[in-house]
Structure 1
Amino acid sequence: MDDVVSLQVVAKTAEADGVVSLTLARPDGRRLPDWTPGAHVDLVLPTGITRQYSLCGDRWDAHTYRVAVLREPDGRGGSAFVHEVLAPGDVVGVGGPRNNFPLVPSASYLFVAGGIGITPLLPMIHQADLLGADWRLLYGGRSRRSMAFLDELSAHGDRVQAVPQDEHGLLDLAGFLGEPRPGVRVYCCGPAPLLAAIERACAGWPPHTLHLERFVAPERGAPARPGPFTVELARSGVVVDVRPGVSVLDAVRAVGVDVLSSCRQGTCGTCETTVLAGRPDHRDSILADHERAAGDCMFPCVSRSCDDRLVLDL
């Protein structure tokens, strides 16, 4: 588990309808850990709620982090607290940063964002621009008023195509992507229908062209092992029985071992845990095939065990 540090909210800014950004810094002014485009942090609110947000500020600013938070009326209370209660001067816990959505070196990028999915792409665009790569952005939202950071993006001119749905309809992915060709990396973040549409649109492209970050996990099949299994916590010396229908995360917490978590869907990576023995049944949306095959880590919020015994570094 990453150490959680206390950071102060030094600015809170309305970026669009339903979107505010928070600028965070150490109260003593010391530098913050470095990060790379695509990274996120875990925001631990004073209520105890933990939520994951992409870093969307200047990665070369060693003293502040910026995140943006969409108000979600049907959420679990984190975004409402940020919008309604959190204020400059307040202190929050921050875990990370960690990066499950890294920017792979390339001479050419196509970026596609839907709504708040623009946040991880902002530092990617800055990096691509800094390195002189060829890049373009297609950015969609419900309306222009709901689309955050349009002013910042306007500095890039016609490399940025903003498409408010109430003015222009849905994104023309096929027209933006063009014909399949090698040497291009496509990065997309946004709601599930957009991700499904771009997966279809990129089906004929070379392998490893498309890189996605998901807010919501896709449907999963039945677990590899339908019955109970045992989890041994190597550092704690505790053995836990995990019953069907109970997550490893909840079973571990029930015996007093704390594991930082956020999404509980296998999409954010906050609860990543080292596997010392046994074969995990990976049910996350993060690990690549070769990482799953290695079997040396898992996300206990969703993943389970293929064997009757699993040993974790907890």
Structure 2
Amino acid sequence: MTMDLIITGLHNETDRIRVFDLSTADGSPLPDYEAGAHLTFDLGDKGTRSYSLIDWAQDAAGAAYRIAVQREDGGTGGSRAMHALTVGTKIAATPPKNDFGVEDHTGPAVLLGGGIGITPLISMATTLQRTGRPFALHYAGRSRDVMGFLEPLSQDFSDQLTCHPDDETPLDLTALMATLTLDTHLYICGPKGMIDAARNAASAASLPDAQVHLELFSTPQAEDGDTAFEVEVASTGEVYVIPPGKSIIDVLEENGLDLMYDCQRGDCGICQTDVVSGTPDHRDVVLSDAEKASGDVMQICVSRAKSARLVLDL
């Protein structure tokens, strides 16, 4: 199911980040959403791309959807295609989906964003502020000139915001995790390296895994040295070759299998599949180190194989 949207406003937040305002093409009301939700856009031959919805404290509820797209010049072209769009362009998108919502908990929340991963956390901070729940917002980036939304973040969340530009006051994850109480819920969105490091620091600080919530801001790219491998579907015995540059989901769907998945980034867990035999090459941020080491399950949207063949419980 998709809906037709129209771009009603555009502005550049930084040299690489463009902000889009979107309304329904027919003027009908926009579906409601909760903090952490995203839209998935159909970009034709560039595939689909998902972007978090941004809700600011000063925004009029339901007036428009707002997303931010960071141009990745070395990527597969989806972000460049989005940046080429103009005001008045119609574009198809799914209704809002949410794999990264604010949990119902009584303890404080700590929101940690890296780069463009700040976008879903803006909505979370807005929701927490509106409901009077305690939170802290930490924003890391290479330098202030590439960190978007610094001015409105400082205006709306001045008492909760701490910025960590790498060239000024780099993020110290060990020190940050040492400040967390055991009833804190930690929400992390950013590049995989930051997520992995933050998750390890949280574990070392004895924060329960169930209180650490994750979302990648981009789809993992192919790695140097990726090679083809085989996937055998246990229920039928059919074998498919997964080439470099395509995911297990890509190939199985091309061959008519009906699969459950959402994010295609390795952070929502919906595509998790049991491994009957073979050795996965885990590239998600969902599984714990122990789950990855066991090799019993994998996220088939991003992970690949270290063995020549995987037999999957599909």
Say whether residues 1:229 and 2:227 are aligned partners: no
- The verdict on how the C-alpha distance between 1:108 and 1:307 changes in structure 2, with shifts beyond 3 A counting, is same
Aligned equivalents of 1:308, 1:91: Cα separation in 2? 40
What count of residue pairs does the alignment treat as equivalent?
287
- The verdict on how the C-alpha distance between 1:23 and 1:299 changes in structure 2, with shifts beyond 3 A counting, is farther
Q: After TM superposition, give the deviation of residue 251 of structure 1 in Å.
A: 3.5
Q: Which moved more, 1:178-187 or 1:106-115?
A: 178-187
- The verdict on how the C-alpha distance between 1:182 and 1:89 changes in structure 2, with shifts beyond 3 A counting, is same
Contact 2:214 2:286 in 1 (8 A): no
1:108-137 Cα offsets, whole Å, 9 max, x none, are 111111110100101100111111111111
Say whether residues 1:174 and 2:174 are aligned partners: yes
SS at match of 2:121: helix
In the alignment, which residue of structure 2 is the partner of 1:39? 37
- The verdict on how the C-alpha distance between 1:141 and 1:230 changes in structure 2, with shifts beyond 3 A counting, is closer
In the alignment, which residue of structure 2 is the partner of 1:197? 197
In the alignment, which residue of structure 1 is the partner of 2:21? 23
Contact 2:195 2:285 in 1 (8 A): no
Q: After TM superposition, give the deviation of residue 206 of structure 1 in Å.
A: 3.1
In the alignment, which residue of structure 2 is the partner of 1:213? 215
- The verdict on how the C-alpha distance between 1:288 and 1:22 changes in structure 2, with shifts beyond 3 A counting, is same
In the alignment, which residue of structure 1 is the partner of 2:165? 164
> Once the two structures are aligned, what percentage of the paired residues are identical?
29
Aligned equivalents of 2:158, 2:97: Cα separation in 1? 31
TM-score norm. by structure 2 comes to 0.75
Contact 1:18 1:71 in 2 (8 A): yes
Contact 1:231 1:240 in 2 (8 A): yes
1:198-232 Cα offsets, whole Å, 9 max, x none, are 1232122231232221245599xxxxxx8653488
1:125-151 Cα offsets, whole Å, 9 max, x none, are 011111111111111112212111112
TM-score norm. by structure 1 comes to 0.75
Q: After TM superposition, give the deviation of residue 72 of structure 1 in Å.
A: 0.7
In the alignment, which residue of structure 1 is the partner of 2:140? 140
Amino acid aligned to 2:213: H
Aligned equivalents of 1:88, 1:259: Cα separation in 2? 35
Contact 1:26 1:63 in 2 (8 A): no
Aligned equivalent of 1:245, options 242, 245, 249: 242
Q: Which moved more, 1:176-185 or 1:117-126?
A: 176-185
In the alignment, which residue of structure 1 is the partner of 2:100? 101
Amino acid aligned to 1:5: M
Aligned equivalents of 1:213, 1:95: Cα separation in 2? 19
Say whether residues 1:73 and 2:98 are aligned partners: no
- The verdict on how the C-alpha distance between 1:60 and 1:257 changes in structure 2, with shifts beyond 3 A counting, is farther
Q: After TM superposition, give the deviation of residue 25 of structure 1 in Å.
A: 0.9
Contact 2:46 2:76 in 1 (8 A): no
Amino acid aligned to 1:212: L
In the alignment, which residue of structure 2 is the partner of 1:91? 90
- Unaligned regions of 5+ residues in structure 1, if any? 220-225, 233-238, 290-294
Contact 1:140 1:163 in 2 (8 A): yes
Amino acid aligned to 2:19: S
SS at match of 1:93: strand
Equivalent positions of 1:295-314 (< 5 A) are 310=314
SS at match of 1:98: coil
Contact 1:139 1:162 in 2 (8 A): yes
Aligned equivalents of 1:308, 1:18: Cα separation in 2? 40
Aligned equivalents of 2:313, 2:200: Cα separation in 1? 39
Q: After TM superposition, give the deviation of residue 163 of structure 1 in Å.
A: 2.3
Aligned equivalents of 1:218, 1:133: Cα separation in 2? 37
- Unaligned regions of 5+ residues in structure 2, if any? 223-228, 289-295
1:158-206 Cα offsets, whole Å, 9 max, x none, are 311122222x142123333334522211111112232122123212223
Higher RCO (CA-CA < 8 Å; seq separation 6+)? 1
In the alignment, which residue of structure 2 is the partner of 1:223? none
1:261-290 Cα offsets, whole Å, 9 max, x none, are 887553467xx6799xxx56796737679x
Q: After TM superposition, give the deviation of residue 32 of structure 1 in Å.
A: 2.0
Aligned equivalents of 1:74, 1:218: Cα separation in 2? 10
Contact 1:182 1:206 in 2 (8 A): yes
Q: Which moved more, 1:198-207 or 1:144-153?
A: 198-207
Q: After TM superposition, give the deviation of residue 306 of structure 1 in Å.
A: 7.7
Contact 1:38 1:54 in 2 (8 A): yes
